[in-house]
Structure 1
């Protein structure tokens, strides 16, 4: 079924894009020979009055083939007038621009019914650190961050980037359906050490005093995959340092963001119709760990991943938090109505539950504007954010800064698969993001892409000199080869991410 979703979505997105080219070509009386979805051998075709509409085997793109577009000679004068290169540069510019423009506009139009029907996802607050600026401003668990310094908080990174400046911030939060403005001053927090010990012995307590006898505790990072002896004020811990992560000192306001709630969205069966958890059950404890929100679930998942003989430790200044891994049978305490129920389940089964999409409720509800005008405004701003984020990701990709934000066909199939398990809203959101991203991608000034053709048209409009169409098509052909190599590279990255490489 995922393959069907994938093909339908990709076909629809490509069709909208190519429709832009087709309609503007017809508007300027350019003869369209083919309107194709996909590349490769033909699956089927329909012959129109002038245009052959065809569906090809590989749904990784599409094209509108116009008369004379490949620079071929046309003997018939009447036909020549209908060719692509017979038209002035400004018309060719608009025909080429129409594809990306239709893609981007389709995304904007699709976001509006999503916002009107389901609302928009905004970051919620999961934990408030005692004594932090957030606690002093009376932020609470369950508050939703609407904006920071006038910027709508479509993503947690928007909030983090503003806080990292270290300047006072103006937050607008939503609490019980009402907006409330707060002013906070970020505070500098010390660096954080997060590490995992295997074959761990001992119990840490208090401040870290020494590492293998060295009182300069920053040398801990040098002992990855080695046996270490860690002296704390209240005890000694020994083990093999398997993972180490250092987070530098940074400005914070003392909040963690919400994700999923420890409340089951549907019944969970173990086997043969046997209920383990029922819809509405809330996890309140697993072994020695209290479970209140998303951050607790994150820690729980890490413990289930580590196994019994491992220990995970987080040190921030004098603040210490540590947990042992979990394996085998674990005791889970749930709240069902007014009753408290204890169950023993396998750690692997509980880990699988946390990995499965759409089994747990969201930590905070989506924000659904009461005013239609606000919904339109939010929808447009959400699309603007997607557009700018896509452009930034592409820039970073070509600078080789971040490749994790770019996905190809294989990665796209994974995204659609995850969305299809969540619901219609998630699928439509993915479609909107894909079509906007396709529009932005095609505006890149690379030969064979619409952006490359737009550049040629602009140069001709400015210089009033036309490049030989055959030379231009050779350049586009070389660009196509480059894009195919790039496509294979991104596919390799997708497969590597799937395999955890």
Structure 2
């Protein structure tokens, strides 16, 4: 329990701090007065004032914020202070300040993955077979669980991804599969069959398969710091695309809304990853950091993406959006966000309950 609490505090604390630090640093660089840098919302619990900024921790630990002078377009700003007011800055400066938060989370993810790959190494799923489907081409050819696939049609395989990719590239032609079994190298002739399988989003697709699954064993490849950074950039890009596609699939109702999780699920997973070791914990923090960046870029008012959307509209129209329209959009966005929070909390609670037991409804 203590591990879960501490790991959750570290994950959320670091991610929120880095996000708000991005806003803060770019705002200061742009010459905007920052009145408050807060971790958490609600009443101020404690803090310290340095210059014009109040650095504090607030009561509700679900987020954070940076309050800037003139952030509210209707706020009264003295003439002498307008040059340091957020709302009086050019659109490009306001865009940079808002975009800095999600971008900081992306940079943090790259750094975390680089540390994981550089210090612990690059994990690869081995080509060891875990299961062989009965009556499949692999079973008929004689492949067995525990066999390590060395090559297919002369192509040496570094990991399971290469194995899967090779089968797809070779299509339905016969495959010369070379495996290692108890120290002995064996050759098999396997002809794939096209069958319906499900992708990571649960969608049915047709693809050639031979009927094997991975054992789940990993090998760790040591890489130098430059390669670690290169691989971390690739990992960040791949996961960003995956999270974006996940949002699209949720909107299309391909993925059920029940798959969404909130703070309770994050806490559970943070505790589990912390128990697995530092490598898993840092990798998990990188995943959540990318997730936070993508979610904040959604064009929903009250999120960074909503502000970016309005600033881009302003740049296209050549004039600011009316305060009344922005206020209406903010109210709608806040309502949507509250509904989403209630829904993910409900999902989290339902996951905690024994299967078959629900929350009594009035």
Shorter-chain TM-score bucket reads 0.7 to 0.9
Q: Secondary structure at the match of 1:367?
A: strand
Alignment-derived partner of residue 432 in structure 1: 286
CA shift digits 1:211-237 (9 cap, x unpaired): xxxxxxxxxxxxxxxxxxxxxxxxxxx
- Matched with 1:232 is none
Alignment root-mean-square deviation, CA: 3.9
Residue in structure 2 matched with residue 67 of structure 1 by the alignment: 69
Per-residue CA deviations over 1:28-64 (Å, capped at 9, x if unaligned) read 1111111111122322121121111121222221111
1:137-176 correspondence runs (5 A): 141=146, 143=148, 159=164, 163=168
Q: Does 1:18 align with 2:20?
A: yes
Change over 3 Å in CA distance of 1:478–1:377 after alignment to 2: same
2:212 to 240, 255, 280: 255
Distance in 2, Cα, partners of 1:118 & 1:185 = 38
In 2, distance between residues paired with 1:455 and 1:471?
A: 13
For 2:269, the equivalent position in structure 1 comes to: 415
Q: Distance in 2 between matches of 1:45 and 1:136?
A: 69
Please tell me whether the aligned partners of residues 116 and 282 of structure 2 are also in contact (alpha carbons under 8 angstroms): yes
Q: Which has the higher strand share?
A: 1
1:186 alignment counterpart:
192
Distance 2:166 2:349 in 1: 31
Of residues 476, 484, 492, the one that matches 2:338 is 484
Normalised to the residue count of structure 1, the TM-score between the two structures is 0.58
- Picking from 240, 249, 252, the partner of 1:399 is 252
Is 1:126 aligned to residue 129 of structure 2? yes
Q: Does residue 380 of structure 1 match 2:228?
A: no
Q: How does 1:329-478 map to 2 (within 5 A)?
A: 364-402=217-255, 403-469=257-323, 471-478=325-332
Cα gap change, 1:24/1:480 in structure 2, threshold over 3 Å: closer, same or farther? same
Aligned pair in 2 of structure 1 residues 138, 113: CA closer, same or farther (>3 Å)? farther
Alpha-carbon distance in 1 for matches of 2:90, 2:164: 48
Say whether the 8 Å CA contact 2:120–2:222 is kept in structure 1. Answer: no
Q: Deviations over 1:111-142 (max 9, x none)?
A: 01101222233333333649835997989837
The Cα of 1:474 is off from its aligned counterpart by 4.0
Q: Residues 459 and 248 from structure 1, CA distance in 2 versus in 1: closer, same or farther, beyond 3 angstroms?
A: closer
Match in the other structure for 1:352: none
Greater Cα shift, 68-77 or 406-415: 68-77
Cα deviation per residue 1:68-111 (whole Å; 9 max; x = unaligned)?
A: 11223324112122111100111111111110001011101110
Which blocks of at least 5 consecutive residues in structure 1 are unaligned? Answer: 176-182, 192-246, 260-363
Does the 8 Å CA contact 2:102/2:293 hold for their aligned counterparts? yes
Structure number with greater Rg is 1
Deviation digits for residues 226-263 of structure 1, max 9, x if unmatched? xxxxxxxxxxxxxxxxxxxxx9996312321123xxxx
Instruction: State the alpha-carbon separation in 1 of the partners of residues 287 and 50 from structure 2.
Output: 32
Structure 2: tracts of 5 or more residues without a match:
181-188, 198-203, 357-362
2: CA distance, partners of 1:145 / 1:32: 59
TM-score between the two structures when normalised by the length of structure 2: 0.78
Which structure dedicates a bigger proportion of its chain to helix? 2
- Deviation string, structure 1 residues 350-407 (Cα, Å, up to 9, x no partner): xxxxxxxxxxxxxx23332445544333222222221111111222223333235432
Pairing partner for 1:5 from 4, 7, 23: 7
Say if 1:122 and 1:145, in contact at 8 Å, map to a contact too.
no
Structure 2: how far apart are the matches of 1:145 and 1:54?
57
Q: Is this contact kept in 2: 1:123–1:145, CA < 8 A?
A: no
